[in-house]
Amino acid sequence: MSQESTNDIGGRSRWRTASAALGASAVLLVAACSPPGSSPDSDNDQPADISTEVPTDEEIELVMAHYEDGGLGESIERLIASYEEMHPNITITPRFTSFEDYGRSIRLTMSADAPPDIAQAGQGYVMMGPLVEAGLLLPLDAYAEAYGWNDRIPEGLLAQSRFQADARSFGDDNLYGLALGGNMVGVFYNRRLAEQLDLDLPPATLADFEQALAAAREADITPISLGNLEGWPANHILSSLMSRHQAGSEMLDWIYGREGATFDTPSTRDALAVLDRWVDERFILESANGTADPAAIGEFIDGESLFLFTGNWSAATIDQGMGEDAGFMLLPPLRAGDPQRATGATTAPFGIHADSEYPDVAANFIDFMTSDEAADVLLEGGYAPLVPEALESGAEVSGTRAAFNEAFAEVLADDGLTLYLDWSTVTMNDALFPVLQQLIGGGATPDDVIQTVQSDWETARGSS
């Protein structure tokens, strides 16, 4: 995003924290070098012997590749400084690359003669899959057992960083990374406009939410700001609706690539019918396809719309621009009291290079970054906590970020994170995003969306 602050949760982090917002073929070209199902370059064996002890008798340098900037990047810098103070013989050298360039270069970076010891690797088939398939990432299950990651972090969150060694499917088998926090898509709203329209927010059900949309339209207020020029934002609305119409397991089976899963379900059709109706009733404007995401956020901040679908990566910008006028809520369920589900995931995890000279030290540092001692630093930097206990730390978070963290904890308690649709194949960005643009522009139907998306999913698995 063009709008950033020192606590920006990362306008460009929506895919690095989850949703593949690159939406461009450049990153896919990197991933396409290793299509799912080909033979891995190594056997991806678990390390035979590990230690949780940090050596004190030698000078050790670890290189860490990442793309976090703003508050997230500052958190990493603070954690590095704290770790080096605890271990004076250890130097952690961060190697920052802008998000736009990171995805294009990470496969080459990890294949170089002097690769980083620790690297950030986005989940799914766009980044982590090719690295796993090429044997460039070390399985971390032995470290997870030794450090208690399996007990500290819910399995539903760890599963996002699990891959089969041949990278044909993910969601189970070996663990290849550990995330520092979480992200989630929700609905930001303008409190001042809601009061003007005499609306009681948040609504209890999706039907109540649609009544609020209608009230805004009748008052000549844009119901939903959407900047879909880049193609990816509309898929956040679709996935949010899908999570309200179907069980989370149904979405996860399809995203993870499990046998027998399909996008063509009655509940997916119900969600697409709602999205199509929102376009027809001008709750979402056709001009959205010509509006960039930062511009839509700016319109919302300027009071031109009632609602905005986005994630916690936009919260700091919204808080800075709107102050107490901004609110955050989850998209309401179909029925009041239904379990809380939402599109979201962990942030992009950190993995260890398979040939690192010091994997034990690298794992120790990753453990430190995700420890209770690091919770305050992560919260202050804008990371959403992966465990509810982190919300009880001393870090003060206010505004929509505070509301977000409370909602995120509710979703985690219900095991309700349903991940991102574009994680499902290497090429799903190129299939899903354009057809949703066409739907919003009136050039495609819900049937077209289903056929396009499922065809890409089947082709990627050699089942079409």
State the pLDDT at residue 401: 86
Q: How confident is the model at residue 9 (pLDDT cuts 50, 70, 90)?
A: very low
Q: How confident is the model at residue 192 (pLDDT cuts 50, 70, 90)?
A: very high
Spatial CB neighbours of 118, under 8 Å, sequence gap ≥ 6: 62, 63, 64, 65, 350, 351, 352, 353, 356, 362, 365, 366
In a domain, 69, yes or no: yes
Mean pLDDT of 251-265: 92
The answer to whether 15 and 440 have CB atoms below 8 angstroms apart is no
In a domain, 126, yes or no: yes
Q: Is the pLDDT score of 282 beyond 60?
A: yes
User: In terms of residue numbers, what domain contains 353?
Assistant: 13-181+348-394
Chain position carrying tokens 């065809």:
455
Amino acid at 186: G
Q: What is the pTM of this model?
A: 0.81
Q: What is the CATH number of the domain that holds 63?
A: 3.40.190.10
Task: Report the alpha-carbon distance of residue 133 to residue 168 in Å, rounded.
Answer: 8
C-alpha closest to that of 82 among 368, 318, 350, 356: 368
The answer on 294 and 205 residing in a single domain is yes
In a domain, 204, yes or no: yes
Same domain, residue pair 188 and 166: no
Which of 136-145, 262-271, 332-341 has the lowest average pLDDT? 332-341
Task: Give yes or no: residues 174 and 189 share one domain.
Answer: no
Residue 109 has pLDDT above 80, yes or no: yes
Same domain? 33 vs 83: yes
- Does 296 fall in a domain? yes
Is 2 within a domain?
no
**pLDDT for res 394:** 52
Q: Are residues 204 and 89 located together in one domain of the fold?
A: no
* CA separation for the pair 8, 349 (Å, rounded): 19
Q: Are 43 and 73 in contact (CB under 8 A)?
A: no
The domain tally of the chain equals 2
pLDDT, averaged across the chain: 87
Looking at the structure, tell me whether residues 164 and 195 fall in a common domain.
no
The reported pLDDT for the residue numbered 248 is: 84
pLDDT mean over 358-369: 97
Task: For residue 316, tell me if it sits in a domain.
Answer: yes
The length of the chain in residues reads: 464
Q: Are residues 152 and 265 in the same domain?
A: no
296 or 18, which is more confident: 296
Residues 243, 149 within the same domain: no
Mean pLDDT for 44-66 is: 90
pLDDT of amino acid 165: 87
Q: What percent of the chain has pLDDT over 90?
A: 65
If asked whether residues 174 and 205 sit together in one domain, one would say: no
Q: Is the pLDDT of residue 388 over 70?
A: no
- Are the CB atoms for 439 and 445 separated by under 8 Å? yes
- Claim to verify: residue 77 and residue 214 sit in the same structural domain: no
Q: 440 in a domain, yes or no?
A: yes
pLDDT at 14 over 60: no
pLDDT in tens, 112-128: 999 999 999 988 887 89
Work out the burial of residue 193: count CB atoms within 10 Å of its CB; fewer than 13 is exposed, 13-18 middle, 19 or more buried. buried
Average pLDDT over residues 137-165: 93
Q: 382 and 426 share a domain?
A: no
Crossing angle between the packed helical segments 266-280 and 446-460, to the nearest 10 degrees = 140
Kindly indicate the confidence band of residue 39, based on its pLDDT and cuts at 50, 70 and 90: very low
The answer to whether residue 152 scores a pLDDT higher than 80 is yes
Between 79 and 402, residue with greater pLDDT: 79
Indicate whether 172 belongs to any domain: yes
Q: How confident is the model at residue 40 (pLDDT cuts 50, 70, 90)?
A: very low
Q: How far apart are CA 127 and CA 271, in angstroms?
A: 28
> Could you give the percent of the chain with pLDDT greater than 70?
88
Task: Answer yes or no: do 318 and 199 share one domain.
Answer: yes
Please name the residue ranges forming H helices in 166-247: 191-196, 206-218, 233-245
